[in-house]
């Protein structure tokens, strides 16, 4: 499953992670999407299987759902717990990789969520199938799976080296991508201009194209219901979309 370089990245980067994204704005943009799909699919209990620092989990709890979170990084889980406490919530959290979900959670979920481009950290097909199988097993019959990842088909054609800068005042992030035959190394440079210092973090992604991920989902007994490019329900386009959001349903084995 996620190798040492991935865990090391999240363990070291955890203290900076919440600065990477404006989660307040992101939750506002995504709120309608989640409430709509959960309502349409009679979702009551949710597992965020790559919960990071807990912001989606907090949002789901505030919406009134019975929500649980897991992540392989103890540092991320610790910060998620702190973030929940700030909102007056005692979050149900567990340290777990994707392939240990059935060992950690004894209950079934109406929906499993895996966002933040988390699944492409897995390198080999057997690990991907194991992860999807575990997600399937913790779902109720006809349960919902929501995956979010980058559109690697477009990314591998255009091969961007840099991503938009993200700065707040004198502090911010520079993103540099290095492409190899079977992986992309994502370098995050944290810059503090107030004291002329910087920190470099790096992690690896293993590109998952649309055809590959949908095939793996079918092999894992999921039916893909919809493919979106954003949380506004815009239809996914293989050539132009930056991101891919897959809405899937558990099938009978």
Structure confidence by residue, pLDDT tens digits, 211-227: 999 999 999 999 999 99
Looking at residue 235, the DSSP 8-state letter turns out to be B
Q: Judge whether 176 and 158 are in contact, CB under 8 Å.
A: no
User: What's the pTM?
Assistant: 0.93
Q: Are residues 113 and 188 in the same domain?
A: no
Q: What is the CATH number of the domain that holds 20?
A: 3.40.50.150
| Same domain flag for 163 and 199 | yes
Rounded Cα–Cα distance for residues 125 and 72 (Å):
19
Give me the residue label for tokens 């149900």: 92
DSSP for residue 252: P
32 and 109 part of one domain: yes
Q: What are the tens digits of pLDDT across the range 173-220?
A: 899 999 999 999 999 999 999 999 999 989 999 999 999 999 999 999
Report pLDDT digits (tens) over 68-82. Answer: 999 999 999 999 999
Domain hosting 83: range is: 3-152+208-250
122 by Cβ neighbours in 10 Å (0-12 / 13-18 / 19+) ranks as: buried
């Amino acid at each position: 499953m996620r190798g040492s370089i991935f865990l090391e990245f999240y363990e070291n980067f955890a203290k900076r992670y919440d600065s990477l994204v404006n989660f307040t704005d992101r939750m506002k943009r995504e709120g309608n999407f989640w409430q709509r799909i959960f309502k349409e699919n009679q979702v009551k209990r949710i597992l965020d299987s790559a919960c990071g620092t807990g912001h989606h989990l907090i949002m789901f709890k505030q919406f009134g759902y019975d929500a649980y979170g897991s992540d392989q990084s103890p540092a991320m889980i610790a910060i998620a717990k702190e973030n929940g406490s700030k909102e007056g919530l005692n979050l149900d959290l567990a340290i777990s990789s994707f392939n240990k979900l059935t060992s950690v959670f004894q209950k079934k979920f109406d929906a499993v969520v895996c966002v933040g481009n988390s699944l492409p950290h897995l390198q080999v097909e057997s690990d991907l199938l194991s992860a999807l199988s575990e997600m399937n097993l913790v779902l109720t019959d006809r349960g919902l799976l929501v995956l979010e990842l980058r559109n690697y088909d477009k990314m591998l054609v255009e091969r961007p080296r840099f991503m938009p800068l993200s700065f707040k005042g004198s502090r911010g992030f520079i993103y540099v991508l290095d492409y190899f035959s079977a992986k992309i190394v994502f370098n995050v440079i944290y810059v503090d201009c107030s004291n002329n210092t910087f920190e470099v973090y790096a992690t690896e992604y293993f590109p998952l194209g649309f055809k590959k991920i949908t095939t793996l989902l079918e092999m894992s007994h999921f039916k893909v219901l919809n493919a979106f490019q954003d949380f506004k329900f815009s239809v996914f386009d293989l050539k132009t979309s930056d991101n891919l959001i897959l809405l899937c349903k558990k099938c009978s084995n």
